[in-house]
Structure 1
Amino acid sequence: MAGRRLGADEEALWARVRATVRALPGRRSAESATAAPPSLPAPRPPRVAAPATAPVASFPTRAPGHTLDGGWDRRLASGVVAPDRTIDLHGHTLSSAHAALDRGVAQAIAHGDRVILLVTGKPPRPDSHRPHARGAIRASIEDWLRLSRHAGAIAAIRSAHPRHGGSGALYVILRRPRATNS
């Protein structure tokens, strides 16, 4: 890789650095460090980001805090919160699960629910030797919710407590509806 020569200000800076360098025991002396300054690598062209295909709504998926206070996270983790609605996606294909999720979230928002228990089924075990893919619905849930028409109404997604399905279910916490002043 071909380097470039240092400019006058870079040479002066390099001289100041060389003056502060001391050789480690058993290493080259400071005089050898005062040899020619290193050549800097040629500058790289700037990277151009690929255009985004669709805007992605942002809401925290499993990180505590952010949009829920610590009290919410403690209550969810302890299993004290009772879901207002349950959406069970067992036995669905990907397309029917997506439609059922959209319908269920729309109904929950219309009804004023705050916590949805979303039953997806347990993700496949790493040691599973099944010949077909499992856990496709579970793997798609967060993307579906982020890109859905309801993304702005979702405050957070959290793992469910074992009494509500554990790793086979998720809590979808909806934002409080805004009061309209008319």
Structure 2
Amino acid sequence: MAARRRGLTPGERELWSRIARSAKALHPPGKPAKSQREETTLPISEKAATTPAAFPRFRVGQSSLPSKPTSVRAPSPAEWLADAAPRMDAKAYKRMTQGKMRPEARLDLHGMTLAQAQPELTRFILSCHANGLRLVLVITGKGRGDHGPLPTRPGALRHQVPHWLHRTPLAPVVQQITAAHYRHGGEGAYYVYLRR
């Protein structure tokens, strides 16, 4: 059984008539729309330049998908940290990235949610800085690979930790962040070099 449609109340009808009286037509009667007027006044050569390119022809059995993906992948945190200029002594930076410096403390964030990990990271970094430590290791894990129908970014912690380290209250005490050497966890961990 279909629901009966409610009519407008007298107040609603009066409000609608006021709105209708104040409205102006986008295209007054008798005048063509702006796009139609421009189209009729363009010379033939300009019309050809503004028409979209023809679609490519396909043969029966040919895939309509491009052979290479056209989307551009966003750089991983390790890639954009590697591209950043070092903000510490070049010799120490080289030794650190080669895994020759041993971290003085480590924090493992495996299995934590973002809400649990952020306060734990803040507490750990500020505590290490207060104790005079210079190089610490923060382990985030690489994240699970998700092979579902929609592309997702694996490793929420791996992507979020560098952002947290670049914001207050941690930014003033952090001098350098870089991906750890493979012997200390590789892309699943970060070296955090603290200021004095």
**Structure-1-length-normalised TM-score:** 0.57
Q: Within the alignment, does 1:150 sit opposite 2:150 as a pair?
A: no
Q: Within the alignment, does 1:129 sit opposite 2:147 as a pair?
A: yes
CA 1:64 to 1:140, structure 2 compared with 1: closer, same or farther past 3 Å?
A: closer
CA 1:97 to 1:77, structure 2 compared with 1: closer, same or farther past 3 Å?
A: same
Instruction: Give yes or no for contact 1:122–1:168 (8 Å, CA) kept in 2.
Output: yes
**Aligned partner of 1:129: which letter?**
H
What's the CA shift string for 1:112-164, capped at 9, x where partnerless? 11011010001455xx4158863111111121111231211111101101110
The more displaced of 156-165 and 67-76 is 67-76
Instruction: Give yes or no for contact 1:67–1:156 (8 Å, CA) kept in 2.
Output: yes
CA 1:70 to 1:119, structure 2 compared with 1: closer, same or farther past 3 Å?
A: same
Q: Within the alignment, does 1:72 sit opposite 2:92 as a pair?
A: yes
- Of 78, 84, 102, 2:104 maps to 84
What's the CA shift string for 1:73-105, capped at 9, x where partnerless? 221122110101101100101110001101100
Q: What RMSD in Å do the two structures reach over aligned CA positions?
A: 2.2
SS at match of 1:62: helix
Displacement, 1:66? 3.6
Instruction: Give yes or no for contact 1:109–1:174 (8 Å, CA) kept in 2.
Output: yes
- Of 189, 192, 196, 1:169 maps to 189
Instruction: Give yes or no for contact 2:142–2:155 (8 Å, CA) kept in 1.
Output: yes
SS at match of 2:190: strand
Equivalence for 1:32: none
SS at match of 1:103: helix
Q: Distance in 2 between matches of 1:165 and 1:155?
A: 20
CA 1:124 to 1:80, structure 2 compared with 1: closer, same or farther past 3 Å?
A: same
Instruction: Give yes or no for contact 1:123–1:167 (8 Å, CA) kept in 2.
Output: no
The more displaced of 60-69 and 158-167 is 60-69
The count of corresponding residues between Structure 1 and Structure 2 is: 115
Q: Distance in 2 between matches of 1:159 and 1:64?
A: 12
Q: Distance in 2 between matches of 1:101 and 1:90?
A: 12
Equivalence for 2:160: 140
Instruction: Give yes or no for contact 1:65–1:73 (8 Å, CA) kept in 2.
Output: no
SS at match of 1:67: coil
Equivalence for 1:41: none
